[in-house]
Homo-oligomer: A and B are copies of this chain.
Amino acid sequence: MEWVTSPTAMQRTALRLRREGKRIGLVPTMGYLHEGHLSLVREARRHSDVTVVSIFVNPTQFGPNEDLKSYPRDPARDRKMCAQTKVDYVFAPSEADMYPRGHSTYVVEESLSRHLEGATRPTHFRGVCTVVAKMFHLVLPDVAVFGGKDAQQAAIMERIVRDLNFPVEIIVAPTVREPDGLAMSSRNAYLSADERKQAVCLSHALHWAQEAFRKGQHEAAELKSGMAKVILYAPQAKVDYIECVHPETFEIVPVVKKGAVVVMAVWIGKTRLIDNAIME
């Protein structure tokens, strides 16, 4: 496994691999890897000859009052996990190399990005789209794998690839969960022992919605209020949003059809967690 920090070196390597006819698979991450990320790596490997994991805590996707500085980091552990999962290249650039002085270009998606995560975090998706475009140009992947937990992000990735014609196939891999149902996330590290127990309310609420949907409840308002009731059992949980949306446009739907996505963001104390489920 090679650990690459220079964007120029990464791009040169990628151009060479492409010329050699190798298929490149990219898993973009912010590091502090967990089993969820490793499942994305395995998915990338199934679709490519060479697997690249990027590790970069991207400053442009954090708002001014968000957790950029406290975001958990452990490069040594990440390195070991990548090596064990047979990653070929880890691309871990510095902030100064990724955003040189006078950086002034952004990729913006103006439809799906406007609400839900985009409402709570107004410049978040602009930062995500920009860094992903940069990663696509530096790593030149044939396929890029994103986690299903960030459903809105994944839908936006599909949209920017379509709109800007990136020669990249997006694969969205299923959310990996702890045994009790909590979706794996680097931010779970923020939770106290008690909060960790309460955090299971997200997946419980989604499970309830899935069951209700299967029993014939297709009214978004009913599904939402039922989920909010499940969340109420966790005393430190506070709903940011619960919505039923179209899987591609992420427009809010009043009537939930098969394939629609129920998305939610919930504060557990000072930690904001998101999760989602596809209704089927």
Contacts and interface: CB of A to CB of B under 8 A. Distances in A.
B110 A105 contact: yes
Nearest to A140: B167
A81 to B, nearest CB: 26
B108 A105 contact: yes
A108 B106 contact: yes
Contacts of A11: 165, 167
A207 interface: no
Contacts of A238: none
Contacts of A249: 102
A130 interface: yes
Interface in A146-190: 159-160, 162-167
24 contacts: A7-B165, A15-B167, A18-B18, A18-B19, A19-B19, A19-B21, A100-B162, A102-B111, A103-B163, A104-B109, A104-B110, A104-B111, A104-B112, A104-B159, A105-B110, A105-B129, A105-B160, A106-B108, A107-B107, A107-B108, A130-B164, A133-B164, A134-B165, A137-B167
Contacts of A129: 105
A116 interface: no
Interface core residue of A102, A109, A134, A249 (most chain B CB under 10 Å): A102
A138 interface: yes
Q: How many copies does the complex hold?
A: 2
A7 B129 CA distance: 22
Interface in A14-36: 14-15, 18-19, 21
A2 to B, nearest CB: 19
Interface in A69-128: 100, 102-112
Interface string A188-205: 000000000000000000
A102 to B, nearest CB: 7
A94 to B, nearest CB: 14
A119 to B, nearest CB: 16
Given A19-B19, A133-B164, 6 more contacts: A104-B109, A105-B160, A106-B110, A107-B164, A137-B166, A137-B167
Contacts of A104: 109-112, 159, 163
A105 B18 contact: no
